[in-house]
Each structure stands twice: as C-alpha cells, then as structure tokens.
Structure 1
Amino acid sequence: MNNPPPVHEEGDHDDDHGEVFIDDSDIIHEVAVDDEDLPDVDDDDEEDDDADIPDDSMHVFTGHTDELYAAACSPTDATLVATGGRDDRGYLWRIGRGDWASELSGHKDSVASLAFSKDGQLLASGSFDGVVQIWDATSGNLRAILDGPGEGIEWVRWHPRGHIVLAGSQDFTVWMWNADQSASMNTFMGHSGSVTCGDFTPDGKTICTGSDDATLRIWNPKSGDSIHVVRGHPYHTEGLTCLAISSDSSLVLTGAKDHSVHIVNISSGKVVSSLASHADSIECVGLSSSFPFAVTGSMDQKLIIWDLQHSSPRATCEHEEGVTCLTWLGKSKYLATGCGDGKVRVWDILSGDCVRTFSGHSNVIQGLSVSANQDFLVSVSMDGTARVFEISEFR
C-alpha cells in the first residue's frame, strides 16, 4: 500500500511562471521602500469566495493537485472510492478515512475514466496517455497494463459477467481486452472520429458506441463486426456525447452536441423516437430501470424528465448553469445532477421537484457516483476535490 497523498489546504498553489529576464536598461528608476510601509497582503478574492461557500459534505478527499475528471464507487464495498484527474493520478480511498489512500500511479497523462468490474475485484483506469491500467481493488496493486490505442482513452466499461474491459479511444477505435490474461480480444474499427461514449448491453451480447463522427455503431463483440451504423436523418447531425442502454438491452438513448436526443432500437438499428426540447449540447442521459422515463441534461441549464410512452417532457428541472453529469440513486425515484455552478442537486423524478441541494464545491462538477449501499454520493470537481454527501434518506 502506498503512503497517503498529501492533504492540500485551499490556497496552496505551485508557482510556475518560468524565469523572467531583464536588463539594466529596463530599469526606469529605483524607489527605496521601507518594509513597514508595505500594505498587508489580503487573501485573493477567489479564496474569500471559497470560504463563504457552505459545505454540506461529510468527507472531503484532497489528495489530488489538479481538477478531477472521474469518480467510481465500488459495487461491493460501500466505503471504497476511486478518483482520477488532470494531475495524471488516480487514487483509491475510503469514505470517512482521510488518512488512507492508495495511489494509482504510472499514467503519463490525465486519468479521465474509471470503472470497477461488476464483482468489485478489479478497477480499470483509462488515461489520455492511451493506456488502460487494471488494479486489484483490495490491495491497490497494479495487475495489468493494457495498451494498443494510439491516442487517449475516452471511457472504460466492464462486461456484466466477466473480467472483460472495453475502452473507446480518441484514435477512432474501440478495444476489448481480457483483463485476467492481459490480452487483446478485439479491436472495433469504423468510426471516423473520437469514440466519445460506449458500453456493453446489460445482457453482454452487444456493444454500442457513439462518436464525434455523429454516428452510433452497434457491434458483435465476438466477431468485431459492425451490425448497424446509425447516421443521417433523422439522427444526430453533430458528434455524440453520451449514451445509456435500457435494462432489457433493447434500446439505446443517445445525446449529442446538436442539442438532440434519439432512441434507437438495438436489434433493428432504427431510430424509434426523437426527444427535442433542449437548446444546447446534451451532456448526460439516463434511462430509469424502475419507471418508463428517460432523463437528459444539457448545457442549456435544464434537466428534462421524459415520459417514454408518449415521447413527451414530463418535467423540466431548471439549474443555475449547465448540467454536466447525472446518476440514479439506485432504483429509487431520485436522481442526482452535477452542475456548472458547483452544486449537486437531488430530484424527485415523479414530481420534478428539487428535494435537496448540496453545496461545498467551488467549481464545475465533473462526475458523480453512488456507493454500493446507497448511503453516499461522491462528486468530483474542477476545484480539485472529491466530496461525499449523505443520501440515505433518498432510497
């Protein structure tokens, strides 16, 4: 186990301005100053603003030294969390134990994506260095280094029944590996832009991937063949940003930069519904496993709850700034959103009401994850911290 990372207090910054060269000729005139005449230095306004933010979190992890991109809670251990960020590091840490952390070292660029295997035994970390690393979730030891993609990893996902990991890359490819054997199983080629989102279907039989090339591809994992390519009218006209697959593996919901949301039948590859109400890029989408609802979050400051039976908006949930991420709180009627204003909000999807707002972050929320026992919600932010909020009342 590695030593715990340093805890950084607000206001600690590394100065990195380089050297400044001046000549004697640059001197206009010299002024003699008595130290006692110098005014006191006030804390900068940003620090003052941060100090005024109420903090509703029960735990703050401050091991990172730059903005955070990813959070993942273990599906089997209610206190185990992984976070990754722009400081090229990932950490495994425990909720409520500020003195315990294991560094996931070795990446040479930002750690942008994290995912635990379904059995909770392994953790995959994907980085902009083009490498996926596999970690033992219990010990924090490195188990495998999976390489092959020529550019950064956009996302990582696990097969629902096995140690098979899938990753989409900025080099237009999707890779699938056997994590136990550190062996490549297939490479999926066909996209002509960065593969921005993707996943296995819950039954494990199919792969869906979305790309900056404005297409959705549906793949056969065994053969590597592209079964369907969804493109053109009435589909997206700009790059896809996010997708979600229904629990019965029949439908995939996709959002894109062009403000549009579409639902595709996975078996036929046909667009079966289009959900049009947003006015800016779609950043996150979700399908409820308990209700016939979809949810879509956009930079237009709105979360829209959709009635899928009528393809119509059920409720519009207003935010102060763009909606950047969302997560279901188990199979309950509650949903959490992360926002550009640094707030985490909990919504009742039946009423459309905001039932709780969590404060504490001072910058954009970039990821959310729920603990295995659904007692805790973990958020990561551009402010460099991960925060834990208690959500046991929203089951």
Structure 2
Amino acid sequence: MKFSYKFSNLLGAVYRKGNLEFLPDGFKVASPVGNRVSIFDLKNSKSETLPIEGHLNFTSIAVSPDGCLMILVNEEGEALLCSLVSRSVVGTYHFHNKVHCVKFSPDGKKFAVTRDTVVLVFHAPGMSRVYNPFLLYRTFTGAFDETTCIDWSSDSKVFVVGSEDKEARVFAVEPCVNLVIHSLGGHTDAVVGAFFEHNSMDVYSANRRGHLCVWKCNQNTTDLVTKADKKKMDARKEREKEKRKEERGASEEESEAEEENEEDGTDGIFKVRYKKAGRHILRGAKGTEDTVSPELTSCDFHKPSHILVSGFSNGTFMIHEMPDFNLIHSLSIADESSVHRAITSVTFNNFGDLIAIGCADLGQLLVWEWQSQQQALKQQSHANKMACIAYSPNGQNLVTGGDDGKVKVWDTSSGFSFVTFDQHSGGVTGVTFFQSGKAIMSSSQDGTVRAFDLTRYRNFKTFTAPRHVQFSCVAVDPSGSIVCAGCQDVFEIYVWNIKTSKLLEILADHEGPVSCLAFSQGTTATMLASASWDKTVKLWEIFDSRGAKETLKQEAEVLTLAFRPDGKELAVGTLSAKISFWDPVNGRQTGCVEGRHDLDYGRKETDKVTGKTLAAGKAFTTLCYSADGKVILAGGQSKNVCIYSVTHQLLMKKFQISQNHSLDGMEEFLDKRQMTEWGNKNLVEEGQGSKLTLPGVKEGNFSARHFKPEVKVMQVQFSPTGREWVAATTEGLMVYSLDQRVIFDPYDLEMDITPAQVRAVLTSGDYAKSLIMALRLNEEEVTQEVLESTPVDYVETIGGELSERYVDRLLSHVVDAVGKTSHLQYYVRWVHTLLQQHGPSLKARAQSLMGVWRTLEKNLSRRRDELAKVVDHNTYSLHYLVDQFRLKDRQRKERKRKNVTDSGNESDVGSHDDSSSADELDKVVAMGMDSESDEEISQLF
C-alpha cells in the first residue's frame, strides 16, 4: 500500500468571495475558493484546483494577458505571484492593507494594485532585469477614500480608478504635460466600476446606486505628450531657431522675436478635458415602494463589443449595449425566496461571448452565454457545511449531503455536480449507495429516509417513522432489500423493507443516541453493527432472529465504526480518541490504537484554556477501511487526517487538510497581536460585532456579521479503487490521490535490468522476457512501450505463461491503461486473457486485489459511456441518411410515374424503379454499418 497521496482537487466548493477571472483562451474560469484557486474548463468539462495554498482566504486575483502568471491577494494584503505553467509560487509581497483590485495592463508590461487611497503600479515580472518580481514603478495619489476599481486603456498608457469618495480619476502611466490627474465627479455613491471605451479615452463610470455616467474626452491617447517628449520638442525647437537665426542674420532679430512670441502662445499641446455626455439609470437598481432599491455590487465592460454587464444585490444582472444604452437581457440567478443572493463578481471573457457570475452567499458560479441565452456552466456548493459523503461501488460517482438539506452527486473524473436533490427539509445526516450503484439512500433530521434514482433523477421512495424523530445515520444491506436508520432523540433503530416500504422492526436496546450504523459484507453472514453514546456497540442478526446478537462494551461513548471489506473485522472509534479493533464473529478485541496525540492541538480565538487542555475533548468521528483492509483512515475534530496500519497498529502518515488561518481552531497558541492590557481582544464585548457566543454553541453565531467557521473533518472515505480518498471538511470536499510521479518502486531488480537492456531484448523479438524485465524494473513508460510493441497474436501465449507473481503487477498496469489509452481493444484483450488464464488464482487473492477490480469497473464504465455517445451519434446519422434517401427516392418515383403516365408506359418503368431503389437502399444501409465514407453514400442520391 503506497502512502504518496497528494492533494489533487477540491469539490463541493466552487466560489467563496473575490473576483472571477477568465484565462486568455476564453474557456477557463479561475475562481477563488477560500485559500485556494479552482480552474473550470468549459470546453473539456473538468475542474482543477491548483496545488497552491495561501495562509488566508483570497479576495483578489489577476491573470496576465499571456496566461503564464497569476497574482493572488488575500484578506490581509499578502500577494502571491504564481506561475500557471509550473503551478508553483514564484514570489510574495505584502501590501500591509486590504487590496480591492489587481489588474494587468493589456500589453502585459505592468499591473496596478488599489490599496488604501493610492494606486501602486508595478513592473510585470520578466519586464525588468531585477530579481525582485514586485518592482514598484510609480505610486499615484489623489483619492480621499479607499480606491475600489481600476481599468486600463487599450494601449496601456492611461488607467482610470474609482474610489469610495464618489469620484473616478484618470491617470497617465508616464508623466504627461497635458494630463496630470483628472477627476470625474458627480456620483451619488461609491464608484463600483469605471471603464475606458475601446481605443479611446471616453469613460463609463457606475456607482453603487446604479447610476451610469458617460464621459467624453477631447483627446485620444495618441495626443498625450509626456514630459520626456516635451523636452525633446523644446530642444528641437531651439535647434530650429538657432538655425534660422544663422540663416537670416542679425538684421531680422526683431521679426524673429515677434514670431517667437506668437509660437509661445500656441505650441500645439492641448490639455485633456472630460465632459459628461450622458447619465443613465440601471433599471435593475429601481425598487418598489415598499422595498429598498438594490445596490449595484459588480460590473464589467467588454471593450471590442461595447457590452456592459452589471450585477445587483438582489441577484439580478443586466446586459446593455453602449453607448446607446440598449437593454439586451435582464435576468436573475436565484429565485425570489432566497434571501442572500447578491452578485459578488461579474466578468467577460476575451471574446465577449461568455459572462462569469459569482454569488458568495449562495456559493454559486454561473457562466452565461448571453448571445444564445444558455448556461455554459452552473455549479453551486452546499450553503452550510458538508455533513456526509459516500462513494459509488465503482468509484465513478460521489454523493454528498449537507446541512442545507440538499443531496448532490459529483462525477469524480470531471469534478462537477450533475444532479441535486432538494426534497429534504432538514439537514442531511447520512448518505449511502446501493450495491448496484444506481440509487442512493439518505437520512435527514426532518424525520425521513429517502431513496433517489440516479437513472431518472427522482425521489422514488420515502420512509418515515410512526412518530416524529430525527435520524442521525442510515445503512443499506448488501442485497439492497433492507434499509436501517438510527435516531438521535429516541435511541431507536428503524428497519424497513425497500420493495414494500413496510416498517419491519424497531430495535430499541440502546440507551443513548445512535451515532453510526454499518452492515458487514464479504464472506461472513450479514450483520448490522450499531454504535451509540451509551458506550456500547451492538451486533444484530436482522435476517435470522430478533434482538441483539451481542453487545461489545466500550470504555467511552462510541462516535463511529466501520467494517473491514471482508466483514471479518470491526473498527470502533470512541470519545477517548481510541480506535479499537474487534472480531465480530467471536466478539473479542484484537487491537487498539491511541490517537489523542495524532489529532494535534487547536485553539479557537475565544477559548480561555490552552490547546493542550482542549485536546482532551477531541476524538475521531469518522473511520474508513481501505479496499484491501490493510490500513484505516481516521478524521475528526481536528485539521489532521491520519492513516493507520491495521496489522502493526501504527500511524503511517498524517495529512494536514488546511493551512487557512481564516478558519478558527488553526492556532495552537494565542496570537500576540490580539493581546491587549485587558487580555484577549476577541473576548472583549464589542456591541453588535461581538464574537462571543452563547454557552453550548458549537457551530458559531450565524447571525454575526463576521462568522469564522471552525476547521474540522466531518467524514472520510477511501475510494473503492484505492487510488484516492476524500475528506468532507469545513472548506469543502478535499480529494487526495496517489502521486503519479512516484518515483522508483522496483521488484526483484538485478544489475543487468536497465531500460536500455529491456529495449534491446524487445528488439530481438523476445517479447515474454522483455515484459518480465519491464515488470521487474516497474517503470510505467518502459512497461507501456513493451506492451504496445508486443504483437496481438502473442497476447494469449505470453499471458498464459506468465507466473503468478508478475500477473498482479501486469494486471494493475493494464487496468490503469484502460482508462487513458486510445488502444482500448488491445488492452481489454490483455485483461480478458489474464482473467481467463489465471482466474482461479486471482479469485483466491480477490480481497487483496479489490482496488484493481473496482478500478477496472470504473474505467470500463467511463469508456463505455464515452463510446456510447459516439455510437448513438452514428446511429442517428445513419437513420437520417436512410430517411433522406427514401424521401428522394419517393420524389424520383413520383416524377417518373408522372412522365410514364404522359407517355403511356407506366407499368414497365415502375417495376424497374422498385427493384433498383430497394437494391440502392440496402447498399446505403450496408455502407453505413461498415462505416464507409459519406461521399460514397451521397453519390447514390
């Protein structure tokens, strides 16, 4: 079992706060998700989270015009310069204050940052021969309040800055004679957006009340005269005067002086002046008589197409054509029943056909194609925390349940959610898949257990108790005929028959809330294990007898349990932070792991005791076995996830899921900057902004203006394939997968086995020996080269003669190749040969190869779906061609029949046409089934 797991993706959280950015290709959207950045590929329908993590949440991002660099700025003004090529941090810079906006110039030579009342313009990295990537060029002042937005002109010579002092100001990047600073006033509120017109110095500025001002300029950027150019002009004039003076002589001094006086009055340099040419009111900002008008929260302008998009606090966005201010669209991203639906960010892509819209309160990201009025992408995270997760049996899908009452199903390959079920009216406490993978079951605090169909996407079963209860967990037996749900208020377990929806039994032996349920699988008899706060684990034989079979007493309250995949071992996690291992058949304990110190210490801002003291109340709340049962994954009220070896009962590796200090509970000691002469600043009452909560509150005060969630792990799950594991955390669904760059892992290696030697043996035609040498070397590229160089006729011979110790390694490599190679049939033939020739021995080792089998099922299912789309498209194309042929053949018959009627020879020609058309139709269908070219088919028409 390898432990080289690395963070690979973040699901369940698509947008938090900050501005959205399109990459230069126009089909990728960069979205800040907490202290990370996710990139959504609209063309390939995939999402990817960059392996870059900040210390705080990111609020501003900017992408260079060439798409190679990205600047990320967090809440405290710390900036990270990242390379999108190497996916790494290149440099850091601290602005020591909040930054509202960062933007690169169109030529990519500079970027501007709005901080406090100033604008800082830096040289872009690579444009100067200085090691420091953040080289300050100039600082522009003039604003009386915080600067909020910035926009560059098309030629990068001028930029406009909006401020909260209700003015927009135009600056020249280089010192100019005819433009020092120009203020555009007349706004009634803070400026939200200010933009230049395409290849012009005309400006559009919009304030928070939805008033849009149009400013016309009397000059263009080509008319700007820098101070350096003015010096050159003056020097040239002096040289011309001296030359004329020498030519005319001393007698013309008086006339020359008069000409000089006239030229001094008109030197050809005109100052830049702006005039307000119009004022418009965005109708989306107009409220009713009983409501307050919504505010303009974000806007963007696409210069080449002259399109303006504006987003409001009520969730509506409007698209206008400028400068005529023609309304194109006015839509809303949320229904009217939603209270928190303010649009936080809107932005155009480079082509102007896509608009990315972000809503921080809903956690929603929408990409709208405004010309066709279609959604290119719509993803939304859980409104509150993610409470539970479950993998599908083949590892292709992942289901999550949240406190918002929604159940979402995610595609693990693309990272997108493709269906959301919102039938629950309370928080979802448990989710699980049926063994077939075609349906899921969920339990909720609203007192219902619901079954959802993943084929028709509907809620086809609903189970309820005789009285109102709150369900805390759910489990489905391997056969898919029985569903059980535990309660947290009446201490009972309800058992239903799924087919008849009939309540079969109520198990009421527990004396405390039921925390977890699990069915055993594998070769042993199916039994149900239930964990409770009454310090017991009970094993039930539901199919054989009534009541509990056996009671396993624990030393503390039981929070979680998990069966090993073969059902021969049970892991139990208690409030004492211990993981005990039990033999469910004999009812005896086989081992124990102490995990108190592995959870580490964490102290919240308002805690009055040390982190070491608080650690006494922390424990593991979720457990999960790997596919082969050799290791167990554990997580809980901590920022750490631990992997333990079941055989040796030792900690193998510990993962820290987050470094985000915007979350509470990350620090072990108090921050000295928060200490005053009265003590901790966070413990001081501050009126409505107080951070103190009522006693017993665990999740925090949601009504507070500044809510800081606590870092924790709600649930962990190993993928059935064994290639990855996920953790439902405060920040979302963290996916950790095996590092593909894992280095050298040979098997029975000798000195004479090298890549060159393997290729030499392969060239000689000894395919069996070269394959064995490649498997012993265990380098993926070499093994792939040997396999694809082996003729198809040798597959059965080599596969049958291969010894068992190499079969597992070859099978693992071939199964991985099935999911990504274009030689699908060739590798499927290898799989078929290995299963057919070594079936009995592989079946005996089925448990240790469980991850390989599930990976094979996942890859084959995904490739089948991909090919099904192509086959369906070809089928519909063939039907269309045949229908077109029949239509044209019918029209041709009608024309000939009409001609025959006129000539009197209808019968003879008609019979000949019928036979010929039938032959041609058969030929068309046969050519279509043989995948011939469309040109030959079109010739028959």
TM-score bracket for this pair, using the shorter chain length: 0.5 to 0.7
CA deviation after TM superposition for structure 1 residue 174, in Å: 0.7
Give 1:189's aligned residue.
464
Query: Are the counterparts in 2 of residues 159 and 165 from structure 1 also a CA contact under 8 Å?
Result: yes
Query: Are the counterparts in 1 of residues 624 and 633 from structure 2 also a CA contact under 8 Å?
Result: yes
RMSD of aligned Cα (Å): 3.7
CA deviation after TM superposition for structure 1 residue 316, in Å: 1.9
Higher mean alpha-carbon deviation, 164-173 vs 190-199, is at 190-199
Higher mean alpha-carbon deviation, 305-314 vs 213-222, is at 305-314
For 1:368, which of 713, 716, 741 is the aligned residue? 716
Query: Are the counterparts in 2 of residues 124 and 133 from structure 1 also a CA contact under 8 Å?
Result: yes
* Secondary structure of the structure 2 residue equivalent to 1:367: strand
Q: Which amino acid aligns with 2:31?
A: P
CA deviation after TM superposition for structure 1 residue 277, in Å: 1.8
Give 1:272's aligned residue.
549
CA deviation after TM superposition for structure 1 residue 271, in Å: 0.5
Query: Are the counterparts in 1 of residues 386 and 728 from structure 2 also a CA contact under 8 Å?
Result: no
CA deviation after TM superposition for structure 1 residue 145, in Å: 4.2
Q: 1:350 to 1:216 in 2, by over 3 A?
A: same
Mapped partners of 1:385, 1:169: distance in 2: 20
For 1:216, which of 488, 493, 504 is the aligned residue? 493
Query: Are the counterparts in 1 of residues 385 and 730 from structure 2 also a CA contact under 8 Å?
Result: no
**Alignment partner of 1:301 is 2:577:** yes
Query: Are the counterparts in 2 of residues 87 and 109 from structure 1 also a CA contact under 8 Å?
Result: no
Query: Are the counterparts in 1 of residues 388 and 714 from structure 2 also a CA contact under 8 Å?
Result: no
Query: Are the counterparts in 1 of residues 539 and 550 from structure 2 also a CA contact under 8 Å?
Result: yes
Give 1:146's aligned residue.
421
Query: Are the counterparts in 2 of residues 163 and 179 from structure 1 also a CA contact under 8 Å?
Result: yes
Higher mean alpha-carbon deviation, 362-371 vs 243-252, is at 362-371
* Secondary structure of the structure 2 residue equivalent to 1:130: coil
Give 2:603's aligned residue.
none
Q: Which amino acid aligns with 1:239?
A: P
Q: Which amino acid aligns with 1:301?
A: A
Give 2:511's aligned residue.
237
Mapped partners of 2:732, 2:416: distance in 1: 24
For 1:163, which of 438, 445, 448 is the aligned residue? 438
* Secondary structure of the structure 2 residue equivalent to 1:3: strand
CA deviation after TM superposition for structure 1 residue 207, in Å: 1.0
Q: 1:373 to 1:156 in 2, by over 3 A?
A: closer
Query: Are the counterparts in 1 of residues 519 and 528 from structure 2 also a CA contact under 8 Å?
Result: yes
Give 2:405's aligned residue.
130
Q: Which amino acid aligns with 1:236?
A: H
Q: 1:294 to 1:253 in 2, by over 3 A?
A: same
Query: Are the counterparts in 2 of residues 305 and 352 from structure 1 also a CA contact under 8 Å?
Result: no
Q: Deviations over 1:328-361 (max 9, x none)?
A: 1212322121243433332232343333334454
Give 1:312's aligned residue.
588
CA deviation after TM superposition for structure 1 residue 374, in Å: 1.9
Query: Are the counterparts in 1 of residues 364 and 381 from structure 2 also a CA contact under 8 Å?
Result: no
Mapped partners of 1:90, 1:372: distance in 2: 30
**Alignment partner of 1:340 is 2:637:** yes
How many residues get paired? 315
Q: Deviations over 1:154-213 (max 9, x none)?
A: 222222115222111111111112232233322111164221111221111211211112
CA deviation after TM superposition for structure 1 residue 240, in Å: 0.8
Q: Which amino acid aligns with 1:355?
A: M
Mapped partners of 2:714, 2:535: distance in 1: 19
CA deviation after TM superposition for structure 1 residue 242, in Å: 0.9
Instruction: Give me the TM-score of the superposition, normalised by structure 1.
Output: 0.68
Query: Are the counterparts in 2 of residues 229 and 269 from structure 1 also a CA contact under 8 Å?
Result: no
CA deviation after TM superposition for structure 1 residue 89, in Å: 5.2
Q: 1:353 to 1:117 in 2, by over 3 A?
A: closer
Give 1:292's aligned residue.
568
CA deviation after TM superposition for structure 1 residue 245, in Å: 0.6
Q: Which has the higher helix share?
A: 2
Q: 1:343 to 1:229 in 2, by over 3 A?
A: same
Mapped partners of 1:245, 1:227: distance in 2: 17
CA deviation after TM superposition for structure 1 residue 313, in Å: 1.9
Mapped partners of 2:464, 2:652: distance in 1: 44
**Structure 1 regions of 5+ residues with no counterpart?**
17-40, 42-85, 92-101
* Secondary structure of the structure 1 residue equivalent to 2:512: coil
Q: 1:179 to 1:327 in 2, by over 3 A?
A: same
* Secondary structure of the structure 2 residue equivalent to 1:309: coil
Q: 1:116 to 1:338 in 2, by over 3 A?
A: closer
Mapped partners of 1:369, 1:378: distance in 2: 5
Q: Which amino acid aligns with 2:29?
A: N
Q: 1:310 to 1:299 in 2, by over 3 A?
A: same
Higher mean alpha-carbon deviation, 206-215 vs 184-193, is at 184-193
* Secondary structure of the structure 2 residue equivalent to 1:193: coil
Give 2:726's aligned residue.
378
Q: Deviations over 1:97-154 (max 9, x none)?
A: xxxxx97416544443344443455544433333334455555666544343332222
Mapped partners of 1:130, 1:387: distance in 2: 23
Higher mean alpha-carbon deviation, 214-223 vs 140-149, is at 140-149
Give 1:329's aligned residue.
626
Mapped partners of 1:173, 1:210: distance in 2: 11
Q: Which has the higher strand share?
A: 1
Give 1:71's aligned residue.
none
Give 1:355's aligned residue.
652
**Structure 2 regions of 5+ residues with no counterpart?**
1-26, 36-53, 60-73, 76-95, 97-359, 366-376, 597-617, 659-665, 667-710, 746-847, 852-941
